[in-house]
Chains A and B, each alone.
Chain A
Amino acid sequence: MEVLACSVDSVFVHKMWNDHEISKMINQDIPYAMLSDQDGSIGKSYGIYDSDSGVETRGRFIIDPDGIIQGFEVLTAPVGRNVSESLRQIQAFQLVRQTDGLEATPSGWKPGKKTLKPGPDLVGNVWKVWKVSEAFDD
């Protein structure tokens, strides 16, 4: 899995942020690429550019090995993301891909929890095999 971070900052500012703040949080350099989208064109092509303030909002896109967008989340500036939830979604998309869509991950699924196998026998019978409590963390 590859992570790409992107903002309208220059690559020079990215270096300074890495050197003076982020590297001090993780005791190493940021291990992924920090892209510089200074004219906002990448952000515009994804639909998350805020032209009022000239920056990109907190848009996060999960892209599969075929280059297809499987999911996204967009937040305004003051609220940070939940990395665990992003990882959970990637694991779910990977499982669906590995099973060629024969298995689906119900609400609250995470590795180790039950998947569903859509088909004629399951129609109207999800209530027998899946409980609402499974939608929540243990």
Chain B
Amino acid sequence: MPEEFKPGCKRPPINKPQPAADAGEQQTAKEATQTMVAVGKPAPDFTAPAYLQGKFVNISLSEFKGKWVVLCFYPGDFTFV
């Protein structure tokens, strides 16, 4: 029988296969490249597909130069809060 789990806001962790020793080092190096942005510094630009009022569109942050932007990340649709 599949093991039942209790759903919460946090996505259940993915049980990834243990990487080989040298691959593990690569993984660590890759993850270390994620750094927090800094206040007072430029926001990283991006272009991404989006859903906007009935349409699928591509949106770039750079389109909004000249306007204030609030960029909100969240763990996922239907995550309760």
Could you list which residues of chain A lie within 8 angstroms of chain B, going by C-beta atoms?
A: 1-9, 11, 13-18, 21, 29-37, 41-72, 76-81, 86, 90, 93-94
Q: Min CB distance, A19 to chain B, in Å?
A: 10
Q: Do B71 and A53 have beta carbons less than 8 Å apart? A: no
Q: Do A53 and B9 have beta carbons less than 8 Å apart? A: no
Q: Do B49 and A72 have beta carbons less than 8 Å apart? A: no
Residues of A within 8 A of B69 (CB): 1-4, 61-63
A22 to B14, CA, bound (A): 28
Given contacts A3-B69, A37-B48, 12 further A-B contacts (CB under 8 A): A3-B70, A6-B48, A9-B76, A11-B49, A11-B56, A35-B59, A36-B49, A53-B75, A62-B69, A71-B39, A80-B81, A81-B72
Q: Do A52 and B13 have beta carbons less than 8 Å apart? A: yes
Residues of A within 8 A of B49 (CB): 11, 35-36
Given contacts A3-B72, A57-B75, contact A34 B43 (CB under 8 A): no
Interface majority SS on B: helix, strand, loop or mixed? loop
In-complex Cβ contact of B81 among A14, A65, A79 (8 A): A79
Q: Do A49 and B34 have beta carbons less than 8 Å apart? A: yes
Interface residues of B in 29-81 (CB under 8 A from A): 31, 33-46, 48-54, 56-57, 59, 61-62, 64-79, 81
Residues of B within 8 A of A42 (CB): 44, 46, 48, 73
Residues of B within 8 A of A57 (CB): 73, 75
Q: Min CB distance, B47 to chain A, in Å?
A: 9
Is B6 close to A, CB under 8 A?
no
Given contacts A1-B68, A2-B67, A69-B43, contact A9 B77 (CB under 8 A): yes
Q: Do B9 and A54 have beta carbons less than 8 Å apart? A: no
Q: Do A63 and B59 have beta carbons less than 8 Å apart? A: no
Q: Do B43 and A63 have beta carbons less than 8 Å apart? A: yes
A29 to B43, CA, bound (A): 28
Residues of B within 8 A of A4 (CB): 50, 59, 61, 69-72
Cβ-closest chain A residue relative to B42: A67
